[in-house]
Amino acid sequence: MKTLTTLALAAALAAATASGSALASDDLAKKNGCIACHDAAAKKVGPTWKDIAAKNKGNEKGVAEAIVKGSKDKYGKIPMPPQAKAAADAPALAKWILTH
């Protein structure tokens, strides 16, 4: 009985840790301040996630790089400043952006 309880507890803890560490990418976009300039479908300062996904099909790596290094002259006259602080989250963000 004691073993069972311990096992159940361990499983619950593992599940909590997994969901706690993998932020949904909506939250990542919020956390990194992307939503100040981007939205899924409404054009703000930057292009929509949909426009970016359409232009970068299958190019997850390129998108992740653009997030960290910034981008200019691709969508309009306003450049995107480099988002170096988002470097650790860039691969997850890129993957998520391309699902739009």
Interaction with ligand HEC in 50-89: which residues (CB under 6 A)?
Answer: 52, 55-56, 63, 66-67, 71-76, 78-81, 83, 86
Identify how many contiguous H helices and E strands the chain contains and give both numbers: 5, 0
Whether the CB-CB separation of 50 and 100 falls below 8 Å is answered with yes
Interaction with ligand HEC in 22-41: which residues (CB under 6 A)?
Answer: 32-34, 36-38
Give the residue with the Cβ less far from ligand HEC, 8 or 55: 55
Q: Is 10 in the site for ligand HEC (CB under 6 A)?
A: no
3-state secondary structure of 35: helix
Give the residue with the Cβ less far from ligand HEC, 9 or 81: 81
Which tokens is 77 given? 């006259």
Q: Which residue's structure tokens are 């860039």? A: 90
> Measured from the CB of residue 96, what is the shortest distance to ligand HEC in angstroms?
9
Distance CA 85, CA 80 (A): 14
Distance CA 12, CA 7 (A): 9
Residues forming contacts to ligand HEC in the complex (CB under 6 A) are 32-34, 36-38, 45-47, 52, 55-56, 63, 66-67, 71-76, 78-81, 83, 86, 93, 97
